[in-house]
Every structure is written in C-alpha cells, then in structure tokens.
Amino acid sequence: MTTETLNPGKGRTLPSMSVLGPVVALVVLLVIGTLLNANFLSAANITNVLARSAFIGIIAVGMTFVITAGGLDLSVGSMAAFIAGLMIIVMNAALPSMGIGIPIILLGMAVAIVAGILAGLLNGFLVTTLGIEAFIVTLGTMGIYRSLVTWLADGGTLSLDFGLRTFYRPVYFDGILGISWPIIVFALTVIVGEIVMSRSHFGRHCAATGSNEHVAHYSNVNVNRTRLLTYAMLGLLVGVATIMYVPRLGSASASTGVLWELEAIAAVIIGGTILKGGFGRVWGTVIGVLILSLIDNILNLTDLVSPYLNGAIQGVIIILAVILQREAKAKG
C-alpha cells in the first residue's frame, strides 16, 4: 500500500538508464572509432557501415514488433536465405521468356515479398492458431528453410544470371543523392516502424498483448490477430531485406543469412525492447543495429583486437544490455 509514493520524481529529471544506456554506448563507440582511425568518420566508411546494417536493421524493425507482442522468430536468417534462393531460381527461369529488364526485377521482388509474407504467416499461424511455443515453431522453420535452400542449391551456390546481376546491381550500389538504396529503405522502414509502434493502435495492441495477453483479450484486443500480423510483417520485411541483399552478391547458398536471427534479436534487446514482451521501441533497435555494426567496423579498421573476436564482443554486449534492463526494471 501507498507504494504510489515510492518513486518520487522518477523519469522526470533524467531519462532512465534503459533509455540512456544504448545512446551512451553508441556515442562511446563513435568516439573510440574516431580516435583509432582517421578514416572512421569518412563518408565512405559511414555509408558502408549503414548499407551493411540495412539488412539486419530492416529485419530487426520487424523483430521489434514480434518481441514486443510477446513472440520470437528464430527463422529469419534461414528465411532470408530461402527467399534469396527462390528469387534467383524464379528470375533465372523467367529470363528466357522475359529477358533482362525492369519487369523481371519486379517479378523477383514480388516473389520475395509474397514468399516473405507467406513464411511469416506460417510462423504466425503455428504460434497463434495451433498455440505452439514461438521458440519451437521458429526453431523448426529455421531448420526447414535452411535445409530447403541447401537442397535447392544442391549443396552449392545458386547464382543469378550474370547479365541479370549486372542489371540488378544498382539496387544495392546506387541511390539518390549519394545515399544508397538500402540505407533509404532502412530509414523509411525505421520511420514508419517507429510511428506505428509508438503512435498507432496496432503498436499499442502489440504492447498490450506482450504485457498480458489475458488483459488484452478482456480489453477487446484480438490477441491472435495482433500476433499473426507481427509475424507476417516480419516476413514481409525479411522479403524486403532480401530484395536489397540479392544484388549485392548475386547468389544464395547454405551459408547465406547465417546468424542473422541472432544479430536481429540482439539489436532489439540492446535497444531496450523487453525480451518477454510488453514494451518495444524501434529507434532503440536502430541504435542496437548501429552498435553491432560499429563494433564490427572498428575491429576491421584497427588491428587492436582480431575481427574473429567480433562475436565474443557482441555476446558480452547483449548480456550487459539485459543486465541493464533488469536493473532498470528493479528500480522502476
């Protein structure tokens, strides 16, 4: 009782640690990077970091919604590989009849989008309608998509026709006003995602569902539809990320998109979204993605620490982020 008087002034004077933490970490990384290498802040390097962040970033925005609504999706890396393989097969097959041109690129994009949405809906259907744990469902589909792409590639690599690849390349490498397409698409995804999460009914329903699904149900929130939509949206965004990814290498193999799911989930958690659901913020996820990319970039630019230790450093950061979250929760 009278606990309403327990936290005088909290959250009024200074933003809490969970808000400040990721921002401070990002600033520290920027300072370290600048001190270690003069080229770090060059336009070329920043563009490179952002463009490489874009794939994980676009997926992580979708992942933010899934996790906020109390779900999880481990299948996104395999799903991206499978969609990439599917795109390449369809485009190669359509090449004799359609020829090189914008229509065949649009066909490939449509395949990616539709396949992404369907894959997301499948995950969502299994989780909501059949009521299977999200961890189990997506662990299963992760294996399925990975195996399918390996099978489609017959254990090797699926390559986009060389002519097609040359025609498609600008989607990754060109852009507007020197900003490449992946960065533009990433930025748009983030802006829309942030607005949807923090200002729309859907975002509020996601948070309510993740916070307590019984309360959400009794408050006329369609819990299953909300969850299903988050998975479908994530699938769509995996499709979009794949559209950006295929022109970069022009191929797909069993090793495409490996560990993307972990990077995406890590970025979401580092950004302050609560793993158990109920609260999420898209801008935080962006900071999480940037932190992970910058660590990678700094390790590559300097020879202080071997880039092979990248994974270890990321691991430490993820664990730290969760500890910070817990402290913030204990205080709040």
CB of 9 to another protein, least distance (A): 8
Shorter beta-carbon distance to another protein: residue 311 or 332: 332
In single-letter form, the type of residue at position 295 comes to I
Distance CA 90, CA 38 (A): 45
Shorter beta-carbon distance to another protein: residue 199 or 326: 199
In this structure, the number of other CB atoms found within 10 A of the CB of residue 309 comes to 12
Contact 288, 271 (CB under 8 A): yes
Of the residues 7, 34, 255, 300, which one makes contact with another protein according to CB under 8 A: 7
Of the residues 102, 131, 178, 218, which one makes contact with another protein according to CB under 8 A: 218
Shorter beta-carbon distance to another protein: residue 150 or 189: 189
Task: Retrieve residue 71's tokens.
Answer: 């779900």
Please tell me whether residue 204 binds another protein under the rule CB under 8 A. Answer: yes
Closest Cα partner for 227 from 294, 131, 298, 103?
Answer: 131
Closest Cα partner for 236 from 193, 280, 288?
Answer: 193
Site string for another protein, 8-37 (x = CB under 8 A): x--x--------------------------
CB of 80 to another protein, least distance (A): 29
Residues touching another protein, count (CB under 8 A): 31
CA distances from residue 214 to 185, 219, 226 in whole angstroms, order as listed: 36, 8, 13
Contact 74, 142 (CB under 8 A): yes
Task: Retrieve residue 101's tokens.
Answer: 């041109």
Q: Which helix (H) or strand (E) holds 316?
A: helix 310-331
Please tell me whether residue 99 binds another protein under the rule CB under 8 A. Answer: no
Please tell me whether residue 331 binds another protein under the rule CB under 8 A. Answer: no
Shorter beta-carbon distance to another protein: residue 204 or 248: 204
Of the residues 31, 41, 188, 215, which one makes contact with another protein according to CB under 8 A: 215
CB of 217 to another protein, least distance (A): 7
CB of 219 to another protein, least distance (A): 4
Residues β-bridged to residue 159? 251
Distance CA 267, CA 284 (A): 8
Of the residues 48, 157, 212, 251, which one makes contact with another protein according to CB under 8 A: 212
Distance CA 165, CA 175 (A): 17
Strand spans (E) along 72-149: none
Determine the interface stretch with another protein among 67-75, 115-123, 205-213, 234-242 (rule: CB under 8 A): 205-213
Task: Retrieve residue 253's tokens.
Answer: 């193999």
Question: What is the pairing mode between strands 157-159 and 251-253?
Answer: antiparallel
Of the residues 112, 279, 290, 314, which one makes contact with another protein according to CB under 8 A: 279
CA distances from residue 115 to 15, 133, 241 in whole angstroms, order as listed: 41, 23, 12
Closest Cα partner for 255 from 8, 51, 85, 45?
Answer: 85
Determine the interface stretch with another protein among 46-54, 112-120, 200-208, 227-235 (rule: CB under 8 A): 200-208
CB of 212 to another protein, least distance (A): 6
Of the residues 29, 50, 137, 207, which one makes contact with another protein according to CB under 8 A: 207
CB of 208 to another protein, least distance (A): 6
Site string for another protein, 220-259 (x = CB under 8 A): xxx-------------------------------------
Q: Which DSSP state fits 276? A: T
Q: Which chain residues interact with another protein by CB under 8 A?
A: 1-8, 11, 195, 199-201, 204-205, 207-208, 211-212, 214-222, 278-279, 332
